[in-house]
Amino acid sequence: MVKLVIFDLDQTLIDTIHRFHEVFNRVLEMFGGVRISWNDFIVAYSSDTLDDYIPKSYDKRVFWREFRRIYSLFIHDLDKPIGGVEDVLKFLKLMGLKIVVCTGRECSREDVVKELQRFNLIQYVDGVYTLMYQDPSEEDVVFCRSGLLKRILDDYGVKVDEVLFVGDYWVDMYSAKKVGLKCVGVLTGYEPADRLMKFGADYIIRSVVELPKIIMDN
């Protein structure tokens, strides 16, 4: 029986794809690269080939660490909750489940809390974890959050079979499987279903709107 649901943040709960594009371009310019168009960005984002745009003289891990550190510094005008997400979170709370947000941003908890407040979602969230609080040695793949997921299990005193992880990126699935969690891949992040399944997704859904049925079945 599921007692706790862990959600990724960007493209799972909140649509920040336009912010991602802008931050990526800002960091590209910081590293001596050239800004890319929206269309080129979306193609590379969905095929997971954005690394190809990073200047070869720079360590990609350094690039992405800078990217995720500044991600919370501004809100894009087009940022918004994924459709139906508040209703889903409300439903889960009425079921008595704990809800935790675990993000690949490298920022303070307070930064994420402020954003969740802005989008009227914070009242449903019991905890927030970010990569700022994970030991870098636990990140064997860029954006891997297995260390944070282990910490959440310990902090909430739950077993792996009592937790469901929900995310949109293949590294989300990879992170969950390293810890032994069941995971749900959502298609709101432009990631193809086959890649999510390749890295361990137990379920594929169009968006979090379809999550209650999975919870009820578990």
pLDDT tens digits for 13-44? 999 999 999 999 999 999 999 999 999 999 99
How many distinct helices (H) and strands (E) make up the chain? 9, 8
CA-to-CA distance for 51 and 63, rounded, in angstroms? 9
At residue 218, does pLDDT exceed 80? Answer: no
**Annotated domain spans of the chain:** 4-15+79-217, 17-73
For the domain 4-15+79-217, what is the CATH code? 3.40.50.1000
Locus of tokens 């009425």: 94
pLDDT per position as a tens digit, 125-161: 999 999 999 999 999 999 999 999 999 999 999 999 9
CA-to-CA distance for 22 and 38, rounded, in angstroms? 9
One-letter identity of residue 73: L
Q: Which of 162, 164, 163, 211 is nearest to 187 (CA)?
A: 211
pLDDT at residue number 217 = 86
Q: How confident is the model at residue 11 (pLDDT cuts 50, 70, 90)?
A: very high
pLDDT mean over 111-130? 98
Handedness of CA 147, 151, 157, 163 (dihedral sign): negative
Strand partners, 180: none
CA-to-CA distance for 1 and 207, rounded, in angstroms? 22
pLDDT at residue number 126 = 98
Q: How confident is the model at residue 182 (pLDDT cuts 50, 70, 90)?
A: very high
